[in-house]
Amino acid sequence: MRLVRERKPLVHQITNYVVMNETANATLALGALPVMAHAREEVAEMARLAGALVLNIGTLSPHWVDAMLIAGKSANEAGVPVVLDPVGAGATTYRTETARRILDEVDVAVLRGNAGEVATLVGVEAEVRGVESIAAADDAAAIARVAATTLGVVASVTGPVDQVSDGERAAAIANGDPLLAAVTGTGCMSSAIMGCFLAVAEPFEAAVAALAAFGVAGEDAAREAKGPGSFHVGLYDALAALDPQSLDERVRIT
């Protein structure tokens, strides 16, 4: 958190149309610098300049998939860490295959999805409706562990309690608020925030720190919210107001 604010890393995001404004504002509120660029003509150059690259498949089309692969490979060559958010994997064949293709061709440092999305990518059956994972994962922690081992990533499975695993270490983060599920793109925002932390810390610690910070901000925003609209606005205020010191005390990690 302190390092993010001190270094203000540039976080290159190739993300979906629905949440671009939101993930950019969450990145800024936390203290990093967002940049959105998706043209095949410039993504390799932009990814090399960044502190981290976030790939999010929420509104795919072929040119964007190409751009994600080009950017991901360029990031890999330059040693820039990559976050993948496999939005809607399991909902359509195109999304599942694209998420798998990115995992095959790009060295992904952190994978962040809901239980259904991550389960799909490791071949476990899960009910996915659109981009929502409905079935309460009986064992999100197990899905995270299997994904980490099978896919060779730090896997984060988010939900009421977020689970992070690198195959050996595991953490469960119990911060957050139910209103986070009432606003579109909060999952995408948490992936963007992972990008911010990943630019200044190693993947497991970055994933845990990002989910903790985002969860605490959600708790702060919920306190004065009258519904999803005011909660959404309060979330940016809360991210900007996060205090690294009190954050450490409020985080509920096991």
> In the complex, which residues of this chain contact its own copies (CB under 8 A)?
10, 12, 16-22, 24-25, 28-29, 33-42, 45-46, 49-50, 58-63, 88, 91-95, 129-132, 182-185, 225-230, 232-238, 240-241
Q: At what angle do helices 62-78 and 93-105 cross, to 10 degrees?
A: 20
Nearer to its own copies, 45 or 77 (CB): 45
Residue 226 DSSP SS3: coil
Nearer to its own copies, 43 or 208 (CB): 43
Query: How far, in Å, CA of 193 to CA of 31, rounded?
Result: 10
């990559």: which residue's tokens? 82
Nearer to its own copies, 26 or 103 (CB): 26
Q: Minimum distance between the CB of residue 162 and its own copies, rounded to whole angstroms?
A: 20
Nearer to its own copies, 143 or 183 (CB): 183
Nearer to its own copies, 202 or 237 (CB): 237
Q: Minimum distance between the CB of residue 165 and its own copies, rounded to whole angstroms?
A: 28
Locate the DSSP E strands across the chain.
10-14, 33-36, 52-56, 82-85, 110-114, 128-129, 132-133, 154-158, 162-165, 170-173
Q: Minimum distance between the CB of residue 102 and its own copies, rounded to whole angstroms?
A: 15
Q: Minimum distance between the CB of residue 101 and its own copies, rounded to whole angstroms?
A: 13
Nearer to its own copies, 50 or 146 (CB): 50
Q: Minimum distance between the CB of residue 236 and its own copies, rounded to whole angstroms?
A: 3
Query: How far, in Å, CA of 23 to CA of 2, rounded?
Result: 20
Query: How far, in Å, CA of 162 to CA of 85, rounded?
Result: 15
Structure tokens at 239: 């991210």
Nearer to its own copies, 81 or 167 (CB): 81
Q: Minimum distance between the CB of residue 128 and its own copies, rounded to whole angstroms?
A: 9
Contacts of 61 (CB under 8 A, 6+ apart): none
Query: How far, in Å, CA of 182 to CA of 106, rounded?
Result: 32
Q: Minimum distance between the CB of residue 6 and its own copies, rounded to whole angstroms?
A: 14
DSSP result, 24-74: HHHHHHHT-EEEE---TTTHHHHHHHSSEEEEE-TT--HHHHHHHHHHHHH
